[in-house]
Structure 1
Amino acid sequence: MLKLTSALLIGGLVSTACLAEKWHMPTPYGDGNLPTQIDYAFAKEIKAKTNGELEIVVHSGGSLVKHTEIPRSVKTGQVQIGDIFMGILGNQNPVFKHDNIPFLATSFDQAQALWAAAKPEIEKALDKDGMKLLYAVPWPAQSLYTRNPVNSLADLEGEKMRAYSPSTSRLADLMGTIPTTIQVPDIPQAFSTGIIQAMVTSPSTGVDSQAWDYVNNYTDIKAWIPKDIVIVNKRAFRRLDKNIQDIVLAAAKNAETEGWKRIVERAAKDKATLAENGMTISEPSAELTTQLEAIGKTMETEWTAEAPKEIGRILTRYHQELGQ
Structure 2
Amino acid sequence: MTAHTTARLIAGLLAATAVPAAAETWDMPTPYGDSVFHTQNITQFAEDVAEATDGELEITVHSAGSLFAHPEIKDSVRRGLAPIGETLMSRLENEDPLFGIDSVPFLAASYDEAEALWAASRPAIEEKLSEQGLTLLFAVPWPGQSLYTQGPVDSVADMEGSAFRAYNTATERLATLMGAVPTQIETGDIPTAFATGRADAMITSPSTGVSSQAWDFVSTYTELQAWLPKNMVIVNTGAFEGLPEEVQTAVMEAAEAAETRGWEMSEAETEAQIAALTENGMEVMEPSETLSAELAEIGETMTAEWSEQAGEEGQAVIDAYRAE
TM-score (norm 2): 0.85
Change (3 A) 1:158 1:211: closer
Asked whether 1:270 is paired with 2:273, we answer yes
Q: 1:74 deviation in Å? A: 1.8
Secondary structure class of the residue paired with 2:61: strand
* 1:160 CA displacement: 4.0
Structure 2 residue 312 is the aligned partner of structure 1 residue 316: no
Residue 85 (structure 1) aligned with residue 88 (structure 2): yes
The 1:181–1:24 alpha-carbon spacing in structure 2 relative to 1, beyond 3 Å, is: farther
**Corresponding residue for residue 48 of structure 1:** 51
Give the C-alpha shift of residue 225 in structure 1. Answer: 2.1
Q: Map of 1:64-143 to 2, 5 A cutoff? A: 64-143=67-146
Partner SS, residue 295 of structure 1: helix
Aligned mate of 1:207, from 170, 195, 210 = 210
Q: How does 1:248-259 map to 2 (within 5 A)?
A: 248-259=251-262
Shift, 1:220, TM fit:
1.0
The change in CA–CA distance for 1:188 and 1:84 in structure 2 (over 3 A counts) is: farther
> Unaligned stretches of 5+ in structure 1?
none
- Taking the aligned partners of 1:207 and 1:233, their CA distance within structure 2 comes to 35
After TM superposition, list the pairs within 5 Å mapping 1:231-250 onto structure 2: 231-250=234-253
What residue is the counterpart of 2:184 in the other structure?
180
Whether the aligned pair in 1 keeps the contact of 2:162 and 2:200 (CA below 8 Å) is: no
Distance in structure 2 (CA, Å) of the matches to 1:117 and 1:161: 31
Hey, what's the Cα distance between the residues in 2 that align with 1:51 and 1:218? 47
Change (3 A) 1:37 1:185: farther
Look up the equivalent residue of 1:274 and give its one-letter code. Answer: L
Note closer, same or farther for the CA distance 1:235–1:208 as it changes in structure 2 (3 Å cut).
Answer: farther
Do the aligned partners of residues 79 and 259 (structure 1) sit closer, same or farther apart at CA in structure 2, a change above 3 Å counting?
A: same
Distance in 1 between residues matched to 2:164 and 2:69, nearest whole Å: 23
Query: Matched residue pairs, number?
Result: 309
Question: Are the aligned partners of 1:47 and 1:53 in contact in 2 as well (CA < 8 Å)?
Answer: yes
Identity score, percent: 47
- Per-residue CA deviation, residues 70-120 of structure 1 (Å, 9 max, x unaligned), is 222222222221112211212211111221122222222221111110001
Return the offset for 1:173. 3.5
Preserved CA contact (<8 Å) 1:173 1:179: no
- The structural deviation recorded for 1:194 is 5.7
Please report how far the alpha carbon of residue 36 of structure 1 lies from its aligned counterpart in structure 2 after TM superposition: 1.7
1:148 to partner: Cα distance: 4.1
After superposition, the Cα gap between the structure-2 partners of 1:68 and 1:188, relative to the gap in structure 1 and judged at 3 Å, is farther
> For the aligned residues, what is the CA RMSD?
2.6
Once the 2 structures are TM-superposed, how far is the Cα of residue 309 of structure 1 from its aligned partner?
Answer: 1.5
- The one-letter code matched in structure 2 to 1:84 is T
Q: 1:49 to 1:58 in 2, by over 3 A?
A: same
Find out whether 1:294 has 2:297 as its counterpart: yes
- CA separation in 2, counterparts of 1:192 and 1:80? 43
The alpha-carbon distance between structure 1 residues 209 and 69, as it changes in their structure 2 partners (threshold 3 A), is farther
TM-score (norm 1): 0.85
- Does the CA-based 8 Å contact 1:70-1:82 persist in structure 2? yes
Q: Does 1:21 align with 2:21?
A: no
Q: 2-side partners of 1:85 and 1:10: how far apart? A: 47
**Change in CA separation of 1:104 and 1:57 when aligned onto 2, cut-off 3 Å:** same
CA distance in 2, matches of 1:194, 1:79: 43
Offset at 1:9?
7.6
| Inter-CA distance 30–10: structure 2 relative to 1 (3 Å threshold) | farther
In 1, distance between residues paired with 2:176 and 2:133?
A: 33
**Residue in 1 that maps onto 2:231:** 228
Amino acid at match of 1:230: V
Q: Does structure 1 conserve the Cα–Cα contact (< 8 Å) formed by 2:210 and 2:277? A: yes
For 2:62 and 2:111, the matched residues in 1 are separated by: 28
SS state at 2:259 partner: helix
Query: Post-superposition shift, 1:193?
Result: 6.0
Aligned AA (2:251): V
In structure 2, runs of 5+ residues without a counterpart are: 1-11
Which amino acid counterpart does residue 56 of structure 2 have in structure 1?
A: E
Give me the whole-angstrom Cα distance separating, in 2, the residues matched to 1:24 and 1:185.
28
